[in-house]
Amino acid sequence: MIRIALIGCTGSIGRQTADVVRRYPERFCFSALACGHGGAAFEALCAEFSPAVALCSEGGFVPPAGTRTLKEGEEARLFEGCDVAFIAAGGFAGLKYTLLAAEAGKKIALANKESLVCGGELVMRAVREKGLDLVPVDSEHSALFQCLAFRRDAPFSKLVLTASGGPFYHLSREELARVTAADALRHPTWNMGAKITVDSATLLNKGYEVIEAKWLYDADFSQIEAVVHPESIVHSLVCFEDGAALAQLGYPDMRVPIQLALTYPERLPCEKPLDLPALGKLTFLPFPEERFPCFSLAIAAGRAGGTLPTVLNAAAEEAVHAFLGGRITFPMIAETIECALGALPRENAESYPQLCEADGKARSCAAQYLLSHGK
Ligand code: MG
């Protein structure tokens, strides 16, 4: 029985992780459940899975008998009785939990991109020092992990991340200026939370994934490429010195990388085997960097390192929130990020409090920009 501490249990990845546990109750259970904003969904999950401990950051929920409620400041206790820390919380908020799980010496299944985008240096240092098992859940990085035979230190010449291209791949700059939040939320292939769906539309998400790949596989930025693949069947590829390339294929269903992260190298059955004749053909298109500045901003911040990826992310979180609320246009997401990156200097990222400070400053900077430029 694998005991899972699931952080971010009411989000899209959290709910699909609960699906996997439901499907294999003899293999998995939850030792801890945590979320930011819980409500009825959190109470229902706690009632169904009876975790030993539960934490809802906004508070105000009634745990079932036998479940102990943790308070703010007791987050480290979430990982006491688990075999795997499954970090599915969204945004910068997830980094704290990844660092706590690392400190507790646990195996980490990582679905929170920001942990590596913002805290890559800190997380990888802890992973190295403690010899921890860090397993990617993001579909692209799970694909790379599989193509590298479940190793993060295997040799390769290039990593190729596939991208659906999002809903706006074919739009011109003029058309992009007029898209709405509702348009951005219509993702062609993946069903995800609102923030990441908008990040897929701006292609910021792919920039994040390049940074994630850099940390996970100790790659140089020059070794990582992105290509558009609208069908989202090939989840990523690894190219080798001799010209050979290995790809991982499957339908876009996050439950596959979720369950693999928990059981690898063992694989559990999933309901939908690939039907190649039904798919007919797969297409690959150039990555449209010039029309989607968020991607290049992410790569530049990733290359610069230090606190700048945290600045990028904080500004993006604020801007996407404003875009979802109808307060700014789509191109203003990139403009807000650019403004914050221009206003705040790069500092070394040696500690979590340092990153929190950079995060706070970037949020105020972005908020100011949004206030003066928004509708
Ligand atoms: Mg992904």
The answer to the question of residue 145 being in a domain is yes
**Between the CA atoms of 305, 306, 312 and 317, what dihedral angle is there, to the nearest 10 degrees?**
130
Q: Ligand 1: distance of its center to the CA of 244 in Å?
A: 23
Q: What is the pLDDT of residue 61?
A: 82
d(CA 330, CA 176): 7
Give a yes or no: residue 340 inside a domain: no
Q: Is residue 56 part of a domain?
A: yes
Number of domains in the chain: 2
Neighbours of 326 (CB within 10 A): 12
Distance 69 CA to ligand 1 centre (A): 32
Judging by beta carbons within 10 Å of its beta carbon (0-12, 13-18, 19+), is residue 222 exposed, middle or buried?
exposed
Last residue in a domain, options 85, 118, 136: 136
Q: Which residue has the tokens 């206790």?
A: 77
Question: What are the tens digits of pLDDT across the range 63-80?
Answer: 889 999 999 899 999 999
| Residue 111 falls inside a structural domain | yes
Q: Report how far residue 109's alpha carbon sits from residue 125's, in angstroms, rounded to the nearest whole number.
A: 17
**Alpha carbon 309 to chain centroid, angstroms:** 14
Distance CA 236, CA 145 (A): 10
What is the structure's pLDDT at 326? 94
CB 74 within 8 A of CB 24: no
Query: What's the CATH code of the domain at 79?
Result: 3.40.50.720
Tokens 């403004």 sit on residue: 339
pLDDT at 239: 98
Calculate how far, in angstroms, residue 141's C-alpha sits from the geometric centre of ligand 1. 7
Based on the fold, state whether residues 131 and 144 are members of the same structural domain: no
Residues 13, 112 share a domain: yes
Q: Is the dihedral of CA 35, 351, 261, 239 positive or negative?
A: positive
Give me ligand 1 centre to Cα 321, in Å: 20
For ligand 1, the distance from its centroid to the CA atom of residue 132, given in whole angstroms, is 22
* Cis before 265? omega within 30: yes
pLDDT score, position 59: 79
H or E stretch at 342: helix 331-343
pLDDT at 271: 76
Residue 62 near residue 81 (C-beta atoms within 8 A): no
Residue at 46 is within a domain:
yes
**Same domain flag for 58 and 143:** no
* Tokens 């819980």 -> residue: 38
Contact 42, 61 (CB under 8 A): yes
Residue 30: count other Cβ atoms within 10 Å of its Cβ. 24
The last residue of a domain, from among 245, 271, 287 = 287
- Residue 120 and residue 16 share a domain: yes
How remote is the CA of residue 12 from the centroid of ligand 1, in Å? 13
Residue 319 covered by a domain:
no
How confident is the model at residue 325, as a pLDDT? 94
**What pLDDT shows up at residue 270?**
80
pTM exceeds cut of 0.85: yes
Residues 61 and 146 in one domain: no
Q: Does residue 332 sit within a domain?
A: no
* 261 and 125 within one domain: no
Q: What is the pLDDT of residue 62?
A: 83
Ligand 1 center to 161 CA (angstroms): 9
CA of 185 to the centre of ligand 1 (A): 16
Q: Which residues pair with 161 in a beta bridge?
A: 226, 236
β-strand pairing of 158-163 with 68-69? unpaired
Task: Quote the ligand 1 centre to 211 CA distance (angstroms).
Answer: 12
Q: Give the pLDDT score at 49.
A: 97
Residues 278 and 142 in one domain: yes
48 shares its domain with 104: yes
Residue that terminates a domain, selected from 254, 287, 320: 287
Residues in the chain with pLDDT values less than 70: none
Q: Within this chain, do residues 62 and 155 fall inside the same structural domain, yes or no? A: no
**Would 96 be classed as within a structural domain?**
yes
β-pair partners for 162: 227
Q: What pLDDT is stored for residue 191 in this prediction?
A: 76
Instruction: Let me know: does 265 contact 175? Beta carbons within 8 Å.
Output: no
125 with 255, same domain: the answer is no
Residues 65 and 147 in one domain: no
Looking at residue 188, its pLDDT comes to 77
Q: Which range marks the domain in which residue 91 is found?
A: 2-136
From the CA of 333, how far away is ligand 1's center (Å)? 20
Tell the burial category of 172 from Cβ atoms under 10 Å away from its Cβ (0-12, 13-18, 19+): exposed
What's the pLDDT score for residue 38? 78
Residues 24 and 54 in one domain: yes
